[in-house]
Structure 1
Amino acid sequence: MAVSFEDISDELDVFGLGDDVDDNQLQKLQEICQSYNINANALVNQWMAFSASRKVDLDTDNIEIFDREWLPKKLSVSQQTPKAKGKSFLNKNTINSALEDQLEIIGSYATPEEKSQIAQAAKRQLTPENNNNKNKRFIGFNGSPAVKTFSPTSLSPASATPSAKFSSRSNSGETVFKFGNLSGHSWQGEGQGCKVSYYDESSCLTPQMKYMFQKMMDKAGALNEMIEDMSQSLQNAHGIEDFGHLALPSQELVTVSGRICCDSIGRLNNQSVLLEGSRDSSAGKSISLDLSELKQYSLFPGQIIACEGVNNTGKKFVVKKIFESQTLPHPESPGEQENAKLLRMMVAVGPYAPSDGIDYSPLSDLIKVINRDKPDCCVLVGPFVDTKNSTINSGELQETYEEIFNKQMEEISHATHGLGCKIVIVSSSRDAHSCYSVYPQPPYSLSTHFSDGSKKSSAQVGITKDLIFVSDPATLVINGVVIGLTSTDILMHLTKSEISIGQQGAGLDRMGRLAQHILHQHSYYPLYPAPDDVNIDYDLWETSARLPVTPHILLLPSDLKAFAKDIDGCCCINPGRLTTGLVGGTFAQVVVDTLALRSSSSPAAACAVKIVKI
């Protein structure tokens, strides 16, 4: 039964979930339809029953549980695939004769009983007498070499196995999204090079920094200062005379400001919204908000707002109006003397290998594109040694994480040397080789110890000056164009935390609204409290994770659907990930007309973007 992405998306739209699903999740749902021979309507009905009974959101992990635990029990025999009706396609002879790779493929279509047989067969395949067969499986990928001396074999460790799904893709090079005026612009450059620097050198992090030494009073002070700074910005923008005490009873309209909080553990909802005031205006008190009189709002924990309403009892603030927050001013456009030409960029986000192995063919294909198009700058965002990769998690690698990372950097440096292209490497908390589990995260350092006991510097491992390591987040200036970026998936974290009623903003969809939150809150990571896997040092956050200006371009890598949008004059881009699971993903190509940037009031109007399949 042929079920398209559009069929599934349309059925999800009926329940208001159409915007919550990305291409990777749609592909998994499509595979489920094919496996069980059901249509999109039956699939979505089963999902709604599953999600309601278990109270879970629509994400990749829950879809796998839905497929593994729910559907085999709930679907009748007539709804399942024809092969499930007849005799089992697995028996002792077929299992014993199957190779390990085949067992993995067959297992994805097996019933729970058959999977237990497969597990036993897999153990037999890996007994000592079959060690030679096991080693045959780990063969490097000998693809055609790229420009210079670069090849996938040199990039991937000896234990890398090529991903069949990635190598068999048929849509390589396909443009899946366009933004801006693409006519008259050539995506291929001439390797003219560029100058890369931090917007504010005082906010730079170093690999030697100390982190997570913050005291509770210092953290509280930083959080309080966030409220006061944003309140001052809102006061100036809307001409508010003064903010009142949010916990004092009042029969008249009063304007208050503070941080949105949740009154319980769990996701924010319209009955659990609290507003926490600053020390100066409200002595740090908090009060429950009644939002019933508002026709539209969009709130998330950590958001700082100003609102008008009444507080009859001193226990609940009835909100009549929420004042719209404002963006910071744009930076000055490039001057007349500063590279009055096009700036061509490429942006790619890890992981750079499929999730079932450490074959870096996707990265090698990307570098071939860099060699072909010769951009002025290429931004490569981690992870490079992904902690979510099953092979890396297995602990069976022959090399250390640092050696794998250093090998990638060395090959990238060699393959792009002489192109006139600067390579910006952005840190990621998902990188296994990095010891910094903190946000903001300092740039990577290549002065590392190797498994043989030696220690080598960047120059010794062959890294050229064309590779530039920057922190997460960072505000950079590239040929006069200000670019803000963060590798942490703040868009995904916001969409899991936000409540939104009514249409927010002129022509903004969910992705645009999430990106607008970041610009309006003047922070690369405005969510508070953060998820458990994001460890924020608020001393460092205060100096290195706040937006100094509204950048010309804002890079927001995410697992959500790739996009490029004009948000309040800023060109916001999610390039997608270079690989999504076992299949190839996307990267972004950007052209900025610096001449138009000087003359236009909207920097986004000077940008052209296309999202391309790797």
Structure 2
Amino acid sequence: MASKEEILGQFQLYNINPTSDVIEKCLSLCVSYNIESEELVDQWVAYTSSNLRGEAPTVEHLEKMERKEYQKNKDQVAAKLPSHKDRSPYVVSTHQSSTSKLDAPSTPKSNQTPSSRIQTPIQSKNLANEFKDTISSPGSQVANYSKRVNALAVQCSYGNKETTFKSKPLLPTIKMVFDGGLKANQTFLYEIIGKKGKSLNNMAEDLIVAIRDKYKLGVPNEAENDEEVSNIYAGRIVSDSDGKLNNQSVLLELTQIHMGRTIQLNLSKVDKYSLFPGQVVVVKGDYTKQYKRKKPLLVVQEIFADTDFTLPSEPPLIIEAYIKAPPITSELPSLNFI
């Protein structure tokens, strides 16, 4: 039985907030035609999309839908129902073809199943008896597995078993850890492009500072417009085309301060150079505007690309590491690499 709450909930699924009069009318339709609230709302959505261009429900629109859909169907069903008073004992089927023009009595038909459709039932086979000797499903655990005595024990080790880690003894042990499962981003190796670009920009800025300190260069220009005030520029080498990098397609992609703006490089005045896509460089040259071209042009005089990094001092301690990948057993041939 439909209710006002169900009707309102069904309308809200389509982002429709009907009035109380509309809900009363819908409830009356559900009771009169013995239909559910979901069916009524679906019928209204289809009706208003086809006839009213998606208008909101009103009492007048619901009455039109009732006359067109429900009352029409009810009259058709009533016309098809047979009359018990005038029914002839010789007529079994009341269905007549729409193309028939004469009301001829039909021949009584038997309710028995035709002999052509009688089938001999196939005797069912007991598969359990046929495969009794070949199929087995143990109802309990294997005896060897249940009697094991080395559960949660180290099966294989290599090297010194007693060492120190952060001034504390470390012995090979097995610990049950539950992290709650991997997240969706970790499962599909999802990587946010913004974070990746920020990481690349941070590495480029560190290299630019190291190159600038080595050659005693000034601070690269950080102006955001085309009126440049310095002849030193820094960034990454990129290609202007999809093919291989050549002297006509070399672009300099500036850092995040310039919002990744690119400048075309003219290398005609450079005697020797070796560049590759993604290389971080600091260039010195003359910046010129090109009103007929989309990208500005930089006539390069010098390219600075190499730098010296001071390696960290090596600690005097011996570095030891434990690598564990359970579950493993000593019987597996994959441990022979030790």
Considering fraction of residues, name the structure with more strand. Answer: 1
Query: More relative contact order in 1 or in 2 (CA 8 Å, sep 6+)?
Result: 1
Is this a same-fold pair by TM over 0.5? no
Q: Which TM-score band applies after superposition, normalised by the shorter structure? A: 0.3 to 0.5
